[in-house]
């Protein structure tokens, strides 16, 4: 940041000198007509150029479009809070009472363990710091693809386009093997919870989305003793994901998505919308693939033929229609691009 400020100061100084010298020469060459320097015009021109310089130097990225740029949409500015951290770390693990109460009710654990004790165990096993790859740099253009699981990916041939992004985020049980032409083969971060776990390639980071304290305990168990094999359904007792590639989605960020972006619709956010808002905070450009229904209105997954796969939309747990409205609005104000496939 210091280097950027020094560079901006140098550019500003040169700009002032250029305007001053240009104004002097123009007025000197026309001194037969008038000896006035037109100070008002000089001040106006300097002010306009200063505004342009400040706008350029304060752009949050070097992309053609920077999604976190403020002043583009009041709707976006009201919802986007840059200060909310997406990942849980040892430094930000203290939850406010209101956040803890909300999160604890998501899946109504009957006898939850003590959160502080669980977090101590957790950060003895997984890293307590933010993934350095996800830390936003002051300059640059980080392009991210968020790949949903919709059947509209079938026949889309988006694979190479998806793989061309810096980061590729996927979620839950989504496979790539056998579907590479349509969905790509690259994955950098895979969001999931215990009940939707799938083994990952060695170079893929797992982002656990914890809907309950037991989910955090499961991570500890699955990477050590293997004692937890059942939550409300059977879950893997042991996983092969490397401990240093396990990240934890912050419960406070989940509540932020629910409050600010979903306006309280549904009981809690889906992994899909959690992935989208997560990407807004770690990326400069975001492209969405595999969201929404296919051309026939089906909400099935691209890897299966299951007419009831979209039944979650009728359970009341997630408000799929409102979540789709949020992503559509983001696209309408050029904060994301949505590729609808077939």
Q: Is 149 annotated as a binding residue?
A: yes
Q: Tokens standing for 269? A: 């956010």
* Helix or strand (DSSP H, E) at 207: strand 205-208
Q: Please provide the size of the chain in residues.
A: 342
Report the C-alpha gap between 26 and 39 in whole angstroms. 13
Pair 154, 247 in one domain: yes
In a domain, 66, yes or no: no
Q: Is 272 annotated as a binding residue?
A: yes
Residue 268 contacts residue 317 (beta carbons within 8 Å): yes
In a domain, 244, yes or no: yes
In a domain, 69, yes or no: no
Residue 90 contacts residue 128 (beta carbons within 8 Å): yes
Pair 100, 18 in one domain: no
Q: Tokens standing for 70? A: 């403020």
Q: Tokens standing for 154? A: 């079938």
Pair 38, 96 in one domain: no
Q: Is 31 annotated as a binding residue?
A: no
Task: Say which of 189, 190, 300, 318 is annotated catalytic.
Answer: 318
State pLDDT tens for residues 82-110: 999 999 999 999 999 999 999 999 988 88
Pair 40, 113 in one domain: no
Pair 294, 230 in one domain: yes
Pair 96, 212 in one domain: yes
Residue 236 contacts residue 277 (beta carbons within 8 Å): no
Report the C-alpha gap between 104 and 101 in whole angstroms. 5
According to DSSP, the β-strands at 285-289 and 143-147 are parallel
Helix 320-332 vs helix 271-282: crossing angle, to nearest 10: 30
Question: What's the first-to-final CA gap in the chain, in angstroms?
Answer: 44
Q: How many CB atoms lie within 10 A of CB 134?
A: 19
CATH code where residue 203 lies: 3.90.1480.20
Q: Is 301 annotated as a binding residue?
A: yes
Instruction: Write the DSSP string, 238-290.
Output: ---S-GGGEEEB-HHHHHHIIIIISTT-SSS--HHHHHHHHHHHH-SEEEEES
In a domain, 249, yes or no: yes
Pair 236, 269 in one domain: yes
Rg of the chain over all Cα atoms, to the nearest angstrom: 25
Report the C-alpha gap between 77 and 81 in whole angstroms. 8
**Tens-digit pLDDT profile for the chain (342 aa)?**
444 444 444 544 444 444 444 444 434 344 433 334 445 554 455 454 444 444 444 567 889 889 989 999 999 999 999 999 999 999 999 999 999 999 999 988 888 999 999 999 999 999 988 877 777 665 689 999 999 999 999 999 999 999 999 999 999 999 999 999 999 999 999 999 999 999 999 999 999 999 999 999 999 999 999 999 999 999 999 999 999 999 999 999 999 999 999 999 999 999 999 999 999 999 999 999 999 877 777 778 999 876 555 554 555 688 888 999 999 999 999 999 999 987
Q: Tokens standing for 172? A: 């839950």
Pair 175, 240 in one domain: yes
What are the C-alpha distances in Å from 98 to residues 101, 117, 256, 260, 267? 5, 19, 12, 15, 16
In a domain, 93, yes or no: yes
Q: Would residue 268 show up in a list of annotated catalytic residues for this protein?
A: yes
DSSP assignment, residue 150?
B
Q: Look-up: residue for tokens 């392009």? A: 143
Residue 68 contacts residue 284 (beta carbons within 8 Å): yes
Pair 34, 167 in one domain: no
Q: Tokens standing for 215? A: 């989910």
Task: Say which of 193, 256, 268, 302 is annotated catalytic.
Answer: 268
The confidence score (pLDDT) of residue 308 equals: 58
**Which residues have CB under 8 Å from 271's CB, separation 6+?**
171, 172, 191, 192, 193, 196, 209
Residue 302 contacts residue 170 (beta carbons within 8 Å): no
Report the C-alpha gap between 278 and 326 in whole angstroms. 14
**SS3 of residue 100 by DSSP:** helix
pTM: 0.81
Residue 115 contacts residue 215 (beta carbons within 8 Å): no
Total domain count, the chain: 2
**Which domain, by its residues, includes 21?**
2-57
In a domain, 35, yes or no: yes
Q: Is 107 annotated as a binding residue?
A: yes
Q: Look-up: residue for tokens 């990942």? A: 87
In a domain, 330, yes or no: yes
Pair 245, 168 in one domain: yes
């Amino acid at each position: 940041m210091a280097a950027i400020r020094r560079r901006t100061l140098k550019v500003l100084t040169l700009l002032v000198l250029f305007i001053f010298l240009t104004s002097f020469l123009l007025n000197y060459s026309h001194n037969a007509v008038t000896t006035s320097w037109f100070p008002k015009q000089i001040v106006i021109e300097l002010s306009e150029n200063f505004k342009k310089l400040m706008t350029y130097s304060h752009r949050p990225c070097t992309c053609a479009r920077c999604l976190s740029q403020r002043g583009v949409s009041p709707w976006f500015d009201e919802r986007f809070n840059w200060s909310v951290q997406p990942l849980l770390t040892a430094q930000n693990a203290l939850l406010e009472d209101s956040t803890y109460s909300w999160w604890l009710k998501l899946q109504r654990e009957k006898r939850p363990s003590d959160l502080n004790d669980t977090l101590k165990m957790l950060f003895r096993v997984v890293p307590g710091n933010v993934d350095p790859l996800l830390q936003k740099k002051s300059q640059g253009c980080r392009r991210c693809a968020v790949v949903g699981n919709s059947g509209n990916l079938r026949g889309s041939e988006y694979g190479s386009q998806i793989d061309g992004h810096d980061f590729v985020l996927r979620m839950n049980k989504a496979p790539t093997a056998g579907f590479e032409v349509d969905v790509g083969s690259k994955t950098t971060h895979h969001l999931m919870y215990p009940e939707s776990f799938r083994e990952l390639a060695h170079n893929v980071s797992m982002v656990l989305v914890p809907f309950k304290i037991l989910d955090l305990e499961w991570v500890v168990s699955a990477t050590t003793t293997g004692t937890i094999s059942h939550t409300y359904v059977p879950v893997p007792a042991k996983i092969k994901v490397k401990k240093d590639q396990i990240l934890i989605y912050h419960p406070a960020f989940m509540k932020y998505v629910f409050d600010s972006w979903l306006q309280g619709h549904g009981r809690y956010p889906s992994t899909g919308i959690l992935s989208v808002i997560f990407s807004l905070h770690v990326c400069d450009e975001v492209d969405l693939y595999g969201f929404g229904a296919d051309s026939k209105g089906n909400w099935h997954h691209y890897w299966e033929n299951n007419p009831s796969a979209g039944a979650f939309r009728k359970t009341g747990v997630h408000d799929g229609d409102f979540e789709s409205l949020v992503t559509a609005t983001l696209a309408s104000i050029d904060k994301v691009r949505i590729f609808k496939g077939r």
